[in-house]
């Protein structure tokens, strides 16, 4: 599958101030370019002590700016032109000294000049701090960070971890992929701003004995993509995840469960606290009536074991039956093996939810792409096939457009 160009058409000024995290800026530049952005690098003198302009030019494909007296712009005013030509300025790494400059409005070299001269209303400033843990915790740094946020900057990170000085703590710059994704999220329409969204994702695991169990091929990728897309759209997101090994999307609260009963027990108390519930998880319909205390051994001559099964609680139906005041707007998922539209519509009517999203499970489990069909009380519509994050963003847009002032049973797709 070709790479998704989430930053296509975006013009980004990538500013580097002094710090060992400059080595990460090289990979960040590469990630932004791969995502489709046009990247113009601007470096301070201190940054050039850690990484060369030649390296950044090779990765960005553009000559690097380092001097406020650079005469390349027609008006000979690089500090003005750079900010006006950009869709955003990203400072990564942002040292304690550079954050202090931003807070105080100082502009004694090209990068700080560019930040000060940018049109605030249309050229946002994003800052990725990187410094020693003591520097980050110092009251002066915290005051400066609060000030640049009050002035309109967006601060990305930092995170905790091992630092170049050998210490461990807060102050470590986010990883390049995290910064790339944060920039992508920054540009996404905030269709769900102020909303809360609860998502289930992945399979469940129903134990037979301490070693074995009943599960399915769900990878959780679709549910995790929906959680990320909703967070990008401005929602506060809670993700209840079955046993999968996927990274938690940025800004998403994650609750890990194993069985269908555990997922039910996690979801039901949370549902009334959320505006939207998206039931993406492939929940096992049945579980063994009894779990064997010890591993069932294979022994010669012994009969093949058999199991009595009991039905698991229906999570989506239970949420959809909540009193109106407590009931979120519900989206069900129907992963079918055949007759997709028929079974999706039956699920819509049986669960009494406003929207069911259908897909063919065997064709999508574990894959990065998918095909979705939206089924509601008025008909159905297929979303164009694509990677799961693109589809998740399209679904989030659909949900945002359909959210009623009070619960009803759907708007035409």
Q: Which residues are catalytic?
A: 165
Q: Which residue has the tokens 């952005």?
A: 37
Question: Is 274:255 a contact under the CB 8 Å cutoff?
Answer: no
DSSP string, 51-77: S-HHHHHHHHSSPPB--TT---STTS-
d(CA 12, CA 87): 6
Is 323 assigned a ligand-binding role in the annotation? no
DSSP string, 250-269: TT-EEEE--SHHHHHHHHHH
Question: Is 366:390 a contact under the CB 8 Å cutoff?
Answer: no
Q: Of all helices (H) and strands (E), which one includes residue 277?
A: strand 276-279
Question: Is 366:219 a contact under the CB 8 Å cutoff?
Answer: yes
Is 295 assigned a ligand-binding role in the annotation? yes
Of 239, 211, 206, 212, nearest to 224 by C-alpha is 239
Alpha-carbon separation of residue 245 from 219, 237, 241, 305, 378 (angstroms): 9, 19, 10, 31, 38
d(CA 83, CA 412): 43
d(CA 200, CA 226): 10
d(CA 189, CA 200): 23
d(CA 58, CA 48): 15
d(CA 83, CA 232): 25
28: Cβ contacts below 8 Å, ≥ 6 apart: 14, 92, 176, 179, 180
d(CA 290, CA 208): 8
Helices (H), 138-218: 139-150, 176-187
Is 342 assigned a ligand-binding role in the annotation? no
Is 316 assigned a ligand-binding role in the annotation? yes
Of 377, 412, 378, 379, nearest to 398 by C-alpha is 412
- E strands, 95-185, are 125-129, 154-155, 159-162, 168-172
Annotated binding site for CTP, which residues? 285, 295, 313-316, 333, 347, 351
Residues tagged in the binding site annotation: 285, 295, 313-316, 333, 347, 351
């Amino acid at each position: 599958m070709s790479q998704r160009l989430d930053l296509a058409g975006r013009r980004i000024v990538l500013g580097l101030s002094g710090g060992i995290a400059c080595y990460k800026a090289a990979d960040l530049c590469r990630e932004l370019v791969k995502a489709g952005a046009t990247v113009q690098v601007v470096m301070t003198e201190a940054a050039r002590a850690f990484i060369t302009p030649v390296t950044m030019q090779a990765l960005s494909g553009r000559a690097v700016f380092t001097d406020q007296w650079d005469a390349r712009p027609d008006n000979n005013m690089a500090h003005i032109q750079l900010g006006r030509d950009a869709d955003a300025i990203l400072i990564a790494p942002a040292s304690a000294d550079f954050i202090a400059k931003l807070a105080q409005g100082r502009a004694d070299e090209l990068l700080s000049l560019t930040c000060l001269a940018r049109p605030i209303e249309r050229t946002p400033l994003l800052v990725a701090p990187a410094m020693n843990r003591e520097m980050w915790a110092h009251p002066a740094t915290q005051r400066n960070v609060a000030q640049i946020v009050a002035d309109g900057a967006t601060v990305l990170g930092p995170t905790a971890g091992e630092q170049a000085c050998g210490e461990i703590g807060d102050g470590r710059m986010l990883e390049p992929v995290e910064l790339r994704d944060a920039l992508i999220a920054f540009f996404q329409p905030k269709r769900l701003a102020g909303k809360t969204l609860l998502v289930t994702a992945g399979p469940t695991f129903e134990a037979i004995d301490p070693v074995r169990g009943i599960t399915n091929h769900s990878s959780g990728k679709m549910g995790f993509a929906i959680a990320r897309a909703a967070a990008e759209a401005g929602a506060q997101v809670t993700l209840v995840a079955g046993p999968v090994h996927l990274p938690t999307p940025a800004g998403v609260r994650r609750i890990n469960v194993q069985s269908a009963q555990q997922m039910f027990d996690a979801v039901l108390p949370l549902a009334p606290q959320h505006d939207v519930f998206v039931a993406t998880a492939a929940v096992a319909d049945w579980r063994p009536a009894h779990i064997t205390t010890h591993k069932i051994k294979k022994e010669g001559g012994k009969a093949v074991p058999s199991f009595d099964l009991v039905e698991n609680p229906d999570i989506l139906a239970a949420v959809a039956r909540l009193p109106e005041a407590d009931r979120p707007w519900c989206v069900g998922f129907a992963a079918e093996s055949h007759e997709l539209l028929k079974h999706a519509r039956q699920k819509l009517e049986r669960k009494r939810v406003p929207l069911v999203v259908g897909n063919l499970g065997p064709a999508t489990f574990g894959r990065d792409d998918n095909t979705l069909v939206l089924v509601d009380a008025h008909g159905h519509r297929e979303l164009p096939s694509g990677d799961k994050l693109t589809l998740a963003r399209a679904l989030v847009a659909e949900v945002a457009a359909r959210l009623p002032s009070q619960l009803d049973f759907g708007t035409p797709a």
